[in-house]
Amino acid sequence: MDVIAGKEFQGFSGNQLKLAAITAMLADHLVSTIYPGYDNKAWWLIGIHLIGRIAAPVMWFMIAEGYQHTRNLKKYMLRLFVFAVISHFAYNFCFGISFIPFLKTVLNQTSVIWALFCATVALYVCDDERRNFVLKKWQKTLLVLVLCLLAFPCDWSCFPVLCTLHIYKNRENLRKQILGMTAYISMYVIVWCFCIDVVYGLVQFGIILVWPLMHFYNGTRGRAKWMKWFFYLFYVGHLVLCGILRLQLHGDIRTIVGE
């Protein structure tokens, strides 16, 4: 064990990883809200967006952990579904996106929570031990593709589904988890670079900053049992506050990067 301030370093709990994700996400969203249409020459804005990439892979990792350890999968999935619906309105209000999907585009139409719900369903589809019915390999593949399609309009598109599945299948192998996530996100980066913005596209590789957090994860949830609710409530609450700030600073404009 490493020694910090005379005490043995026990690693990071799941709650501490969530706090890291919350901090990174808040900073990222505040920058998008306060400085819409960011200047890619402003290195400090790029730096904050880069750090903000920590949030998503922590979410994918914690979904894989939550699925593995939850005692009641139905309640776990129901909680994700309910907050996905609530978060849709908070996310779209935050960034000035229409509550009605697909009016102008198919991208960034709802929050990442919907994609996390789809990822959890995908884990269940691929889990022969947990299901009480049999699925053939082609059926699993087809269902995962459908779930990727359902997640495609979300923040981070279908990659939360793909990355969460990869993380879960490669438990206890951090190197494979990180390399697999990076390979998947490379496709996301390519789309960004060719279709939207090269600099911000390359920023997506910032997900690798999660490596030390995952490396020092100690496999525990942490003492604060209320954190599972706090994360969801904070997610919705900070989006609403950013939306109010958006209206106060800029009026009713879209502040999401890439718009």
User: Alpha carbon of 135 to those of 72, 76, 132: distances in Å?
Assistant: 22, 22, 10
More confident residue, 103 or 27: 27
d(CA 182, CA 177): 9
Interval 183-225: pLDDT, tens:
999 999 999 999 888 999 999 999 999 999 999 999 998 888 8
Residue ranges of alpha helices (H) inside the chain are 14-34, 43-52, 55-69, 73-95, 112-125, 137-151, 159-169, 174-195, 198-203, 211-215, 227-250
Tokens, residue 60: 């994918």
Tokens, residue 223: 């003492």
Q: What is the pLDDT of residue 225?
A: 82
Q: Write the single-letter amino acid at 232.
A: Y
d(CA 189, CA 69): 32
Q: Mean pLDDT throughout 166-181? A: 96
- Helix pair angle (55-69, 112-125), 10° resolution: 40
Residue with tokens 């969203």: 29
Q: Is 101 left (phi over 0), alpha (psi -120 to 50) or beta?
A: beta
**Taking a C-beta distance cutoff of 8 angstroms, is the pair 197, 212 a contact?**
no
Question: For 25, how many CA atoms within 13 A lie in the half-sphere containing its CB?
Answer: 25
Interval 49-100: pLDDT, tens:
999 999 999 999 999 999 999 999 999 999 999 999 999 999 999 999 999 9
d(CA 210, CA 238): 22
What confidence category does residue 6 fall into, taking pLDDT thresholds of 50, 70 and 90? low
Interval 131-145: pLDDT, tens:
889 999 999 999 999
d(CA 161, CA 171): 16
